[in-house]
Structure 1
Amino acid sequence: MKKFKLSNIFLSEKFKKLLIHWGSITSRAPINSMFVKIFLSFWFLILLLTTILISFPLLDDRQLQDVTSSDLNDLTLVRESLQRSAELYPDATIQELIDNDPGTDFRRIYLTDLFGRLINDKAPRKMRQFILDSDSSETPQKKILTKLTYLGPVVFEHNQRTYLLYFSAPNQKETLEVIEWLIDNPFLLLLTALIISAPICAILAWHLTQPLRQLQEVAHLVAQGELNTRFPTIKNSDEIEKLANSMQLMVLFLKNMLNNQQRLLSDISHELRSPLTRLGLALAISKKHFGESKDLLRIELETKRIESMLTEVLNLSRIQLTPVQKERIALNEFLEELFLDAEFEANEYGKIFTYPRLSTVKINLYPEFAYRAIENVIRNAIKYAQHKINVKISITVLTIIVSIENDGPLIPESELKNIFRPFYRLSEARERETGGEGLGLSIAENAMFKHGGKIWAENIDNKVCMHLQFPRYG
């Protein structure tokens, strides 16, 4: 008993905490907040459906009812009419009296014995049910159906035998047939409730999702680097409007931060190029006075490498920060010149570059960035290939995949993702031999991200294969 009391106290305390928490939420939420809108909408919808489901049976007049004085008079008149027929035809059987009832055109009489056994040859199922439900002559009942009204019973005597008399007559009831039809078919009643609730739910869903769709479109454009995108005007005065304002402030902050970063990179570029230029002049003067030496050549090589690296870093930042518009261009127009240049460059190194016949399908892309991505991967393949570089193009409904494979040294499986990191080198000796700053693949990866695509590498059939996947639309 003590345990039970303690558990009750614990539950009541927990319930109090829930009520307090609920109160704090509702007190903080303004009347036009999304929380209140969703809560009231669902509450109203549940209330409406519950009211409909409860009210429908009340509209059904087919329940058993006590007869009125008018109904009792009708029962008495029918009994007296049948009694007169019995007096006119004393030798007639009870079935013959029923069949020869003068009021057959507008009513049907049914008789049972005191045990409820039907005297008539046949009777409708609904009348049989009514006879079972109303079997007391002391309290006659009636039941109003769609087309007929059933009344009874009253006592009728014939040939010293007692019967219970019922009859059915047409009615002019006002209850809608569709209501009775729905009550008789619970599945259809549920379907009707769903149909009624569907427009309410649709209006609520549209009201909530319309501004969210607008924000989603803007967020997609911002993600593509279009930071000057105009935000939609949302006047719901709820959390969605606050979200839109916060997103707008975030984009403004991001835009200022990127502008500052771009300005910083530009300033750094200018400050670094000036001493590099002076260093180049000093090297030229030293060569003129003292001639070429191994040390001067090494200084010149490293200077050029620093300058090239600086250029690549600026290109990388430009891809990441510069807002540009996509263009819709045919694949053959975009790739033909690039592949011809790659073929010429490969021939200069004594290697073979092959590519398939180019399709005329169109694709949405940033031409300059896509060109740089594919060019960097191709040049990388030409550097490391032993004899052959081959291009494959796969076109699907949503994507275009450009695969570039070469028969050069394989990349260790553990390094296939690392090669896209900025300034990453598989080995120092390898880069010294082939040149490069370790930024080509990183630039390609950033260009693919800007397109909403991706780039990855894998070793297939003793060949290194780079895949660039572009979305065809968007």
Structure 2
Amino acid sequence: MSISVAAFIVYFTINRLFGDPLDSIARRQASAQIFLLEQYVDQAPADQWLDRLNKVREVSEVRYELVPLASVRGQLSGHEAAAFERGELVLDVPHKAFYRRVDLKGERYIGSEEEAVSAQNLPIDIGFALQLEMVRYVIVALVLLIPIGFWSRAHWRSLQQLSGVADRFGAGELSARARMRPRESVYPLAERIDHMADRIESLLASQRSLLHSVSHEIRTPIARLEFAMELLRDAADDPVLSKRIDGMEGDVAELKELVNELLGMARLDAGQALQRQQFALAPALKDCVDSLPPAAIGVQLDLAADLGDGNADQRLLLRAVGNLLRNALKYANGQVRLTAARLGCSAGAQQDTSAVGAMGSVGAAGAVGAVRIMVEDDGPGIPPEERERVFEPFYRLDRSRDRSTGGFGLGLSIASKAIALHGGTLAVDESPLGGARFTITLPA
């Protein structure tokens, strides 16, 4: 489109500066008739001018006529009309004709200042002229396109390389850099992106190092506090004091749990390597449910018969599922359900269809052989505007900001990061039970 616009601009610029190329070609094609008029008829004395024009009319196939000025003025406009009034020869290319005033002062013969010479049926081939114009613009376009094509190809490859670096960096490969040569067209942009990536990697490394160091350093005073409270409990005989010691021990246990969660977050943010192994999914999920702390609410299991084996980091995957189950148990009124199925398998087609139908807006079924694990409860649920934020670290809904539910707002964030490391997704929506439904989708 840019080249087309540029071609039109060039065309009109040339027309404005040097005249219409079609007019020039047509003038060359009609040069014989113009020569007769200017070099034979015009050179005659005033009393012989009309006689010579009649002789030309007799021997030429072109029809020469004397016409009133008014009829010609009605056919011309713009610069053509101005040229005609100055006494210049004006070509009418579409009609294969030309016009010219006989005489501005009437010196040719009586009344000649009110007449014009009209020549019709000139040997002008517009098609040939247009072909020449087309050839001209094709040549111009090729001359422009060839260097632009080479430049665009190099520019596009540089942009693709830059896009690949951005994808790798966004996927967690913080060492990804463009490292382009200074002669590349996008080198200034690539250099700034590399500087930005260096800065981000440095900041994240400092943050992880600080979090890791602080978490480890806190463990020592926590251990001393636990030891001191054990000694204090042995020496305390007052029931009130013993109750306060119990509360202090609960606070220390909560602080210790927070440190462990922070260390887990630091490892996940650092992109820890997965210890993948083959293991049976159904027994592993049952063991995960059995390892939960005792609760008044039981967990309903709905595991497909063809669930088969999984190839994943078993400890990390079960930790994510366990975090979702503990979260569901906190808010459930009386029902928690764990469902697992393998998508697209013939043996479990019926169960897979029901699971996908229950999903609603959570997403597509996924690839054949993918595993979908759903944790549902009948609690108060999660408002739609909060569903994306619940996976942020330390974020908790207002109704959970009390000690009765506990937690630090890290469980769902850890689960989300653990599933992302496996290349899967974790989403939340409304459950048919009435509460929240968390859906894990793992690739085949």
TM-score w.r.t. length of structure 2 = 0.57
Moved more, 429-438 or 401-410: 429-438
Change (3 A) 1:232 1:277: same
Residue deviations 1:339-371 (CA, integer Å, cap 9, x gap): 3434545797533122446679999x9987666
Task: Please tell me whether the aligned partners of residues 395 and 401 of structure 1 are also in contact (alpha carbons under 8 angstroms).
Answer: no
d(CA) in 2 for partners of 1:304, 1:346: 17
Partner of 2:107: none
Q: Answer yes or no: is 1:267 the counterpart of 2:227.
A: no
Change (3 A) 1:304 1:326: closer
Change (3 A) 1:141 1:422: closer
Task: Please tell me whether the aligned partners of residues 378 and 404 of structure 1 are also in contact (alpha carbons under 8 angstroms).
Answer: no
Partner of 2:123: 143
Partner of 1:298: 247
What RMSD, in angstroms, separates the aligned Cα atoms of the two structures? 5.6
Partner of 1:37: none
d(CA) in 1 for partners of 2:146, 2:183: 20
Change (3 A) 1:312 1:137: closer
Partner of 1:216: 163
d(CA) in 1 for partners of 2:129, 2:280: 68
Task: Please tell me whether the aligned partners of residues 342 and 379 of structure 1 are also in contact (alpha carbons under 8 angstroms).
Answer: no
After TM superposition, give the deviation of residue 231 of structure 1 in Å. 2.7
Change (3 A) 1:429 1:378: closer
d(CA) in 1 for partners of 2:141, 2:370: 44
2:299 equivalent among 351, 357, 360: 351
**SS of match in other structure, 1:380:** helix
Q: Answer yes or no: is 1:226 the counterpart of 2:173.
A: yes
Residue deviations 1:392-431 (CA, integer Å, cap 9, x gap): 4652369979563423321363755554454445578896
Change (3 A) 1:297 1:471: closer
Task: Please tell me whether the aligned partners of residues 224 and 451 of structure 1 are also in contact (alpha carbons under 8 angstroms).
Answer: no
2:231 equivalent among 274, 285, 290: 285
Task: Please tell me whether the aligned partners of residues 373 and 441 of structure 2 are also in contact (alpha carbons under 8 angstroms).
Answer: no
d(CA) in 1 for partners of 2:208, 2:149: 46
TM-score w.r.t. length of structure 1 = 0.54
Partner of 1:315: 264
Residue deviations 1:148-193 (CA, integer Å, cap 9, x gap): xxxxxxxxxxxxxxxxxxxxxxxxxxxxx9875476xx8x998997
Partner of 1:441: 412
**SS of match in other structure, 1:389:** strand
Partner of 1:236: 183
Matches within 5 A, 1:374-389: 374-385=321-332, 386-389=334-337
- Tell me which amino acid in the other structure corresponds to 1:458: D
d(CA) in 2 for partners of 1:355, 1:260: 43
Change (3 A) 1:189 1:289: same
Task: Please tell me whether the aligned partners of residues 352 and 388 of structure 1 are also in contact (alpha carbons under 8 angstroms).
Answer: yes
Partner of 2:150: 203
Q: Answer yes or no: is 1:463 the counterpart of 2:410.
A: no
- Tell me which amino acid in the other structure corresponds to 2:30: Q
**SS of match in other structure, 1:254:** helix
After TM superposition, give the deviation of residue 314 of structure 1 in Å. 1.9
Identical-pair percentage:
20
Task: Please tell me whether the aligned partners of residues 390 and 412 of structure 2 are also in contact (alpha carbons under 8 angstroms).
Answer: yes
d(CA) in 2 for partners of 1:205, 1:412: 50
Change (3 A) 1:235 1:139: same
Matches within 5 A, 1:52-67: 57=22, 64-67=29-32
Q: Answer yes or no: is 1:339 the counterpart of 2:285.
A: yes
**SS of match in other structure, 1:437:** coil
Residue deviations 1:249-269 (CA, integer Å, cap 9, x gap): 222222222222222222212
d(CA) in 1 for partners of 2:398, 2:31: 101
**Structure 1: 5+ residue runs without aligned partners?**
1-41, 72-108, 116-128, 147-176
Change (3 A) 1:314 1:58: farther
Task: Please tell me whether the aligned partners of residues 96 and 124 of structure 2 are also in contact (alpha carbons under 8 angstroms).
Answer: no
Moved more, 387-396 or 305-314: 387-396
d(CA) in 2 for partners of 1:254, 1:432: 36
**Structure 2: 5+ residue runs without aligned partners?**
37-58, 66-92, 100-115, 340-354, 357-363
Matches within 5 A, 1:15-30: none
Task: Please tell me whether the aligned partners of residues 379 and 436 of structure 2 are also in contact (alpha carbons under 8 angstroms).
Answer: no
Partner of 2:10: 50
